[in-house]
A and B are shown apart, each in its own frame.
Chain A
Amino acid sequence: DSGVTQTPKHLITATGQRVTLRCSPRSGDLSVYWYQQSLDQGLQFLIQYYNGEERAKGNILERFSAQQFPDLHSELNLSSLELGDSALYFCASSPSTGEGVGGYTFGSGTRLTVV
């Protein structure tokens, strides 16, 4: 157990729907990162939050949004879902802003299937 908790583990939904993925970072970590892992794109960085504030943005679609709450858990909202959004979504956390030589701790992911 890495200490990063993601729920749900699996999600199946229809095109056009909206889903929310949840992540609880490792105890003491202030940053949360969201990644999308698909077969054709590999691991793509979506967005980072640090202590409740958006810190960095990657290849995140406008249909996707995220937030980090005062208790530091984070939610990734995916709307108007398309078949191509089917992927593994990983959350990772780190103690600080992520600068420096440290690695991140990853959760076990949420597998989203859009049908």
Chain B
Amino acid sequence: SQELEQSPQSLIVQEGKNLTINCTSSKTLYGLYWYKQKYGEGLIFLMMLQKGGEEKSHEKITAKLDEKKQQSSLHITASQPSHAGIYLCGAAPAGTASKLTFGTGTRLQVTL
């Protein structure tokens, strides 16, 4: 079965600083999803990547999928308190697009 490892597990950054969260898979990634979750709430869809080398951006968040399709990174530029939460990467295995395996999450705190 596919395993996803996220690093770091937690992160405290000062407002305005940049940060990167990594997601490494034990197998090839066919569909890689990034979500944000506020404690105890549902997941907010951020981005989905499929192709090796693909990069997508939304506002101040950029996600990349490396060429070998076994690692993805999420980069936040000029962090804001609204970015605080738990970031989760989810992977869809080949042929079963809706059966996502999730990483353990990265808890982000943004201090003023």
State whether these chains interact: no
Listed in ascending order, the chain B residues whose CB lies under 8 Å from chain A are none
